[in-house]
Structure 1
Amino acid sequence: MPTLLDQAGIMLWIVALSLLFGGIAGLILGLLLYVTRKGGILQQPIIFWVINILVNTFRPVPFIIFIAAVQPLARVVVGRGIGAEAVVFGISIAASFFIARLVEQNLMSVDPGVIEAARAMGAGPWRIIWTVILPEALGPLVLGYTFAIIALIDMSAVAGIIGGEGLGNYAVAYGYRQFNPVVTWSALFLIVIVVQVIQALGNILARKILRR
């Protein structure tokens, strides 16, 4: 029987890799949604329409269905349909669409007047993106990604159904199925602690950024 801490480490490893891949892809998609929309600094209705349809199509799909549906694709890309690699692959794809919408919404909080002032000073679109839009939205983005990390922890627990390791699978396999509530509650307690720590760190970092 694996130990609680070992499974916690596996869960954090799955979440970290999923955040790396899904977080980068989600940032790119969300940024494209923001800048290519009507009135955006890189207005491109076709690009916006395509990305918007993709996000709206995949984001609402329940993760338990999504992770099962992408198993064949996971076999092609990572060589297996179950296990930690397949879980990271599935979570990364799901997270990219989820985070894309978070990024878009947080970028919408940027004051249009600041963007217009940068335009008036002769700044080009890409310079505005890197020196105005992203820095101005950094605080809300940190809070958004904090929320995303917690959602990834939830996804990693659900992904245990396809053979993924971690606290979710540990609680079900060695707690629920073996009628051992101590194991189940221990895993639950540790997940709650991890979530509280992540949320606190995200709040502190966002607060420091917003005070600048």
Structure 2
Amino acid sequence: MDVIAEFGDILAKGTLDTLYMVFAATLIAYIFGLPLGIALVVTEDNHILPASHFNRALGTVVNVTRSVPFLILMIALIPFTRAIMGTAIGVNASIVPLVIGATPFVARLVEGSMKELNKGIIEAATSMGCSKFEIIYKVMIPESLPSLILGASLTTITLVGYSAMAGVIGGGGLGDIAIRYGYYRYESDLMVVTILLLIIIVQVIQGIGNRLSKRINRLN
């Protein structure tokens, strides 16, 4: 294809930039979102660390953050991103709104995964004398791992879409290429290729997530 010959280097760099943004943001979002999700579960009434007021406050913060459309959130965070990164455009700068947008999403996914657990397992661990911290990292996380992996693949796929939106403000990656070349320069063929690349990335991520989840589920 002529578009590959003409824009091959740009597409290759855009693909690598997208993968870097997405996986870095997913990792950081889980560093913050995993403990938040666990906190949403364990602080419920009748759980191991009941704290109803804290639970409601945390749930409200998570819901409010999730309610803001990513494009608006990204624009609103430009001053904050510039303050901590020195710039509001480019690949590294895009990671900031990606992380902030994904963290509450991750928290709710983790919460959902943890709530699928049979409460009898937690009660058994409690009766065996496990501490609350041991229940979390030796029981709840391992038992929820297949579901957590599926949630991680869903988060990563969601961030692929978010990263494409980051191209609106010069965020880099395939979204930036699609807008800068495909839209503004009317290179429709290039637009199609970037869409196909994004579809391939999503399919690969989903396939890997499904396989890992099934394998771990069999081991459990």
Question: TM-score when scaled to structure 2?
Answer: 0.93
Alignment match of 1:51 (pick from 50, 58, 80): 58
Separation (CA, whole Å) in 2 of partners of 1:177 and 1:74 = 26
Aligned residues of 1:30 and 1:99 also touching (Cα < 8 A): yes
The residue that corresponds to 2:162 in the other structure is: 155
CA RMSD after TM alignment = 1.1
Could you tell which deviates more after superposition, 17-26 or 102-111? 17-26
Alignment match of 1:132 (pick from 131, 136, 139): 139
The residue that corresponds to 1:72 in the other structure is: 79
Task: Give the counterpart letter for 2:177 in structure 1.
Answer: Y
The answer on 1:4 being equivalent to 2:23 is no
Moved over 3 A (4+): none
How far does residue 54 in structure 1 lie from its aligned partner after superposition? Answer: 0.8
Residues 100-138 of structure 1: CA distance to partner in whole angstroms, max 9, x if unpaired? 011001110011000001111111111011111001100
How far does residue 193 in structure 1 lie from its aligned partner after superposition? Answer: 0.7
The answer on 1:205 being equivalent to 2:190 is no
Alignment match of 1:35 (pick from 32, 37, 42): 42
How far does residue 50 in structure 1 lie from its aligned partner after superposition? Answer: 2.1
Separation (CA, whole Å) in 2 of partners of 1:73 and 1:44 = 32
Alignment match of 1:14 (pick from 1, 18, 21): 21
- What is the number of equivalent residue pairs in this alignment? 212
How far does residue 82 in structure 1 lie from its aligned partner after superposition? Answer: 2.1
The answer on 1:146 being equivalent to 2:153 is yes
The answer on 1:82 being equivalent to 2:100 is no
The residue that corresponds to 1:172 in the other structure is: 179
User: Which ranges in structure 1 are unaligned for 5 or more consecutive residues?
Assistant: none
Residue aligned with 2:153, SS: helix
The residue that corresponds to 1:114 in the other structure is: 121
Alignment match of 2:199 (pick from 189, 192, 200): 192
Separation (CA, whole Å) in 2 of partners of 1:90 and 1:54 = 16
User: Which ranges in structure 2 are unaligned for 5 or more consecutive residues?
Assistant: 1-6
How far does residue 83 in structure 1 lie from its aligned partner after superposition? Answer: 2.1
Question: TM-score when scaled to structure 1?
Answer: 0.97
How far does residue 46 in structure 1 lie from its aligned partner after superposition? Answer: 2.7
Residue aligned with 1:137, SS: helix
How far does residue 77 in structure 1 lie from its aligned partner after superposition? Answer: 1.6
